[in-house]
Amino acid sequence: MSTELGDLAARLRAFAEARDWGQFHTPKNLAMALAGEVGELVAEFQWLRPDEDLDPEARARVVAELGDVTGYLVRLADVLGVDLLAAAHAKLDQSEARYDVSTYRGSARKAPPLPPG
Amino acid sequence: MSTELGDLAARLRAFAEARDWGQFHTPKNLAMALAGEVGELVAEFQWLRPDEDLDPEARARVVAELGDVTGYLVRLADVLGVDLLAAAHAKLDQSEARYDVSTYRGSARKAPPLPPG
Amino acid sequence: MSTELGDLAARLRAFAEARDWGQFHTPKNLAMALAGEVGELVAEFQWLRPDEDLDPEARARVVAELGDVTGYLVRLADVLGVDLLAAAHAKLDQSEARYDVSTYRGSARKAPPLPPG
Amino acid sequence: MSTELGDLAARLRAFAEARDWGQFHTPKNLAMALAGEVGELVAEFQWLRPDEDLDPEARARVVAELGDVTGYLVRLADVLGVDLLAAAHAKLDQSEARYDVSTYRGSARKAPPLPPG
């Protein structure tokens, strides 16, 4: 894990251990917690029109929810022993090979089921 | 954004720009993509008993899905201009203040609605 | 539960019992399965522009996913002993009281956090 | 659509039309709203141990959230013109053919990726 993500993981681990919450932090439970936070995040955008931005209150909630999502994701990866950055770069390697620029330029529809980020 | 997360964000941005996919990468759409990937992640754990670990094939899928989740999360934060590490540490500051060790030690149920990571 | 939903619940129950899958069908696990299927459903819409409809292949997948979502939702409610129609009508009673027509007409933004269906 | 689900769909449609909310109720937005509600539902179960039941307050929240999920699911199906019961029974037909009783009895792991409900 990277230094910065590793520092966050270490802080989350200490937080859980001080409260004896490691017993709750199984991969299954943490995946559920992550899903719950992502549900809250999605809800902030659900009625937004394409030409609309988040208002300041909604944006503040989104930042807080991104913090929650990041926290649970990093904690889950730490419990599983997975390097998130390595996993993300490996997927991006695959995506660069799969979605060649000339074929997919400007089209999301040619790339079933989804164009990766 | 951190160096390591900043590097990943820059690579994702270049990937999207080369394919002219920035038009699809609105915050709303990226939040949906994140939710879709988290749904796949949750599905890997859904029938697991508490005493069970992921088998090697499931673990490999989980690593790949964690890579997808990380990619969409970092891309979403980049589009919104949000520092994920700062947001996560800010939430953890709040959690440390809210869930004092003596009250919450060993109990998830006293902490409505959820004990943070 | 209604006759039609009750018939579906009974068929799902018999399906699970014949395979001895009741042991997996805890409320927790079924909620996760529901979340996984909803993630797949959301993914079908994520890159869609406001002026776009689903193409025929995507529509067929959406119908199948709506079938999965309905199945897990009805199974979860059956295991919990919850009447979905009564629960939905009760929430709609509340929404009709909360979102009076003259105040909320034409505006989703006035109704934090979300205007109900 | 069934009589009972059809009645709920009609009530939801009238609710939306009275507030001119049809403009927000695109399939994409309703799928997001559904995902948000399912996220809240999952969060209720995330720290629950296998031998634990929901306490009465949590159960009341779960019933309310099941009402929200049902409402958005029925509204989404209505907007798309999909018969949820027919879709669910069609998927169950497939599952009965795919997961024969003698092979899958008692095992969720033999059935990748997931044993349906």
ipTM field: 0.92
- What are A76's two structure tokens? 């889950």
Q: Nearest-CA residue of chain D relative to B33? A: D32
Q: Note whether B113 and D62 are within 8 A (CB).
A: no
Measured between CA atoms, how close is B70 to chain C, in angstroms? Answer: 16
Q: Which residues contact A55 (CB under 8 A, 6 or more apart)?
A: C109
Is the pLDDT confidence value at D114 over 70?
Answer: no
The sign of the dihedral angle between the CA atoms of C70, C71, C76, C78 is positive
Chains that touch C (3 or more CB pairs under 8 A): A, B, D
> Which mean pLDDT values do the consecutive 10-residue runs of chain C (117 residues) have?
87 96 96 98 95 94 98 98 98 95 78 44
Q: How far is CA D108 from CA B45, C16, C19, D88, in A?
A: 12, 11, 9, 20
Q: Note whether A22 and A16 are within 8 A (CB).
A: yes
Interface contacts C/D by beta carbons within 8 Å = 215
Residue with tokens 């992502």: A38
Is the pLDDT confidence value at B112 over 70?
Answer: no
Measured at the CA of B85, the angle between CA B80 and CA B88, to 5 degrees, comes to 95
Residue with tokens 């490999």: B60
Burial of B4: CB neighbours in 10 Å, binned 0-12, 13-18, 19+: middle
Q: Nearest-CA residue of chain C relative to D65? A: C87
Q: Using 50, 70 and 90 to split pLDDT, how confident is the model at D2? A: low
pLDDT (tens digit per residue) in B59-105 = 999 999 999 999 999 999 999 999 999 999 999 999 999 999 988 98
The conformational region for residue B20 under phi > 0 = left, psi -120 to 50 = alpha, else beta, is left
Q: What is the pLDDT of residue A109?
A: 56
Residue with tokens 């590097």: B7
- Percent of chain D past pLDDT 90, that is, above it, reads 81
Q: What is the pLDDT of residue C108?
A: 67
Query: Under an 8 A CB cutoff, do B109 and D42 touch?
Result: no
Query: Which residues of chain D are within 8 Å of residue C27 when distances are taken between CB atoms?
Result: 45, 54, 62
Angle between helices A27-45 and B27-45 (to 10 degrees): 160
Nearest to D108 among B42, B47, B109 (CB): B47
Query: Under an 8 A CB cutoff, do C46 and B39 touch?
Result: no
Q: Give which of A65, B31, A43 is closest to C115, Cα–Cα.
A: A43
Q: What are phi and psi of A96, to 5 degrees?
A: -65, -35
Please state, in angstroms and rounded to a whole number, the distance separating the CA atoms of residues C38 and C69.
6
Query: Under an 8 A CB cutoff, do A43 and C113 touch?
Result: yes
Is the pLDDT confidence value at D117 over 70?
Answer: no
Measured at the CA of B32, the angle between CA B29 and CA D9, to 5 degrees, comes to 110
Cis peptide bond N-terminal to A27, omega within 30: no
Q: Which residues contact D101 (CB under 8 A, 6 or more apart)?
A: C18, C19
- What are D85's two structure tokens? 């019961």
Q: Give which of B101, B109, B50, B86 is closest to A16, Cα–Cα.
A: B101
pLDDT (tens digit per residue) in A56-111 = 999 999 999 999 999 999 999 999 999 999 999 999 999 999 999 988 988 765 44
Query: Under an 8 A CB cutoff, do B109 and D55 touch?
Result: yes
pLDDT (tens digit per residue) in B14-60 = 999 999 999 999 999 999 999 999 999 999 999 999 889 999 999 99
Please state, in angstroms and rounded to a whole number, the distance separating the CA atoms of residues A117 and B24.
10
Please state, in angstroms and rounded to a whole number, the distance separating the CA atoms of residues B40 and C3.
33
User: Helix, strand, coil: what percent of chain D each, to 5?
Assistant: 70, 0, 30
Query: Which residues of chain C are within 8 Å of residue D59 when distances are taken between CB atoms?
Result: 80
Is the pLDDT confidence value at B117 over 60?
Answer: no
Query: Under an 8 A CB cutoff, do D18 and C101 touch?
Result: yes
pLDDT (tens digit per residue) in D13-38 = 999 999 999 999 999 999 999 999 99
Quick one: how many helices (H) and strands (E) in chain D? Answer: 5, 0
Max Cα-Cα span within chain C: 53
Tell which of B47, B49, B52 to mutate to test the D interface (max D CBs under 10 Å). Answer: B47
Q: What is the pLDDT of residue A2?
A: 57
Model-level pTM? 0.93
Tell which of A44, A46, A47 to mutate to test the C interface (max C CBs under 10 Å). Answer: A47
Query: Which residues of chain C are within 8 Å of residue B39 when distances are taken between CB atoms?
Result: 35-40, 42-43
DSSP state of A109: T
Q: What is the mean pLDDT of residues D64-84?
A: 98
Measured between CA atoms, how close is B68 to chain A, in angstroms? Answer: 6
Q: Nearest-CA residue of chain A relative to C117? A: A47
Q: Give which of B12, B107, B19 is closest to B69, Cα–Cα.
A: B12
Q: Note whether D91 and C71 are within 8 A (CB).
A: yes
Measured between CA atoms, how close is B99 to chain A, in angstroms? Answer: 9
Judged by DSSP in three states, A37 sits in helix
pLDDT (tens digit per residue) in D87-96 = 999 999 999 9
Q: What is the pLDDT of residue C12?
A: 98
Q: Give which of C21, A69, D70, C22 is closest to B41, Cα–Cα.
A: A69
Nearest to B69 among A5, A36, A73 (CB): A73
Q: Give which of C19, C11, C18 is closest to C75, Cα–Cα.
A: C11
Measured between CA atoms, how close is B75 to chain A, in angstroms? Answer: 7
Nearest to C45 among D31, D36, D117 (CB): D31
HSE value, Cβ hemisphere, 13 Å, CA-based, for C107:
12
Please state, in angstroms and rounded to a whole number, the distance separating the CA atoms of residues D61 and D67.
10
Q: For the beta carbon of residue B31, count every other beta carbon within 10 angstroms.
A: 29
Query: Under an 8 A CB cutoff, do B46 and C29 touch?
Result: yes
